[in-house]
Structure 1
């Protein structure tokens, strides 16, 4: 089983990302609420806090044996220096529960540590999306509860 992450760009990969969003049916129900795949793709590539520069926004496609099965969005140095915020980590449903997500996350963790020089990973999990267990298995701990989300972190230094 080969896992790889490829940097995604809007010009080269928008159609592929749109197809992945179309297949993320449970994600669309739990998180986005019947999200339009075209709008979701545009948001995936361009949404970021105003204080974040474009060079700190990273979009990836996750491959399993050269098959695109997921998408990942990272904002580096957010909300603090040496912290990378995982804005989206979505794996196609047919690959969930098979330890593929764990292998993709491990690959992402190494990339963040070695390439982005990250010391801490942070993410928010919408309360409507029951994936806290996965993130706890990956070593994340709950640091705060917001109105609609759980904020989790993991130190990777």
Structure 2
């Protein structure tokens, strides 16, 4: 999945980020530092270059780098969000949304909904039938957003940041 369907906001564009491109790593690190309320680990210490690169390279077992896509969401030239997508995981025709993060000023807006809709259309066009994602179970804002999108809980587990809720949506 290389091409991302566009959204109807003139200043917004989406492109693949490259973890081997120094400029992409720099702007991604700047984004992480601006969104510390989401990436709480970085409240204590600035992420190292290795931690930044890990966003691009970390994969679950039984997957390959060719299944992973990191999309930068830009408002003009400023990275204001990103989407981490894993194709055909945990099984064929199911994709996993690792991250769908926007800076605070863009959350709870029409743009957030439109970006998600564009993602869903894009992955559907590639043959994906189900989308799966995980979030902290007591994150009410995330729960409301994903429930509005039609996601249903399928399981829970204890993770590094507390109880995690795994949700899935059938799209095709």
The TM-score bracket by the shorter chain reads 0.7 to 0.9
CA distance in 1: counterparts of 2:72 and 2:83, whole angstroms? 6
Aligned residues: 154
- Structure 1, residues 115-137: CA drift from partner, whole Å, max 9, x if none? x3211100011236441111111
- Structure 1, residues 74-124: CA drift from partner, whole Å, max 9, x if none? 11111111011011111001111222211111111112111x321110001
TM-score when normalising by structure 2: 0.80
Deviation of 1:43 after TM superposition, in Å, equals 2.0
Deviation of 1:40 after TM superposition, in Å, equals 4.1
Name the structure 1 match of 2:5: none
Q: Which secondary structure does the structure 2 equivalent of 1:121 belong to?
A: strand
CA contact 1:144–1:150 (8 Å) conserved in 2: yes
CA, structure 1 residues 110+64, in 2 after alignment: closer, same or farther (shift >3 Å)?
farther
Deviating beyond 4 angstroms after TM superposition, the runs of 4 or more aligned structure 1 residues are none
Q: Following superposition of structure 1 onto structure 2, how do residues 1-157 of structure 1 map, counting pairs within 5 Å?
A: 1-2=9-10, 3-12=12-21, 13-29=24-40, 32=41, 34=43, 36-38=46-48, 39-64=50-75, 67-114=78-125, 116-127=126-137, 129-130=139-140, 131-147=142-158, 148-157=163-172
* Consecutive unaligned residues in structure 1, runs of 5 or more: none
Deviation of 1:33 after TM superposition, in Å, equals 6.3
Deviation of 1:14 after TM superposition, in Å, equals 0.9
CA, structure 1 residues 155+36, in 2 after alignment: closer, same or farther (shift >3 Å)?
farther
Q: Which secondary structure does the structure 2 equivalent of 1:132 belong to?
A: helix
CA distance in 2: counterparts of 1:42 and 1:128, whole angstroms? 29
Q: Kindly indicate which of the two structures has a greater share of residues assigned to helix.
A: 1
CA distance in 2: counterparts of 1:64 and 1:93, whole angstroms? 13
CA contact 2:36–2:42 (8 Å) conserved in 1: no
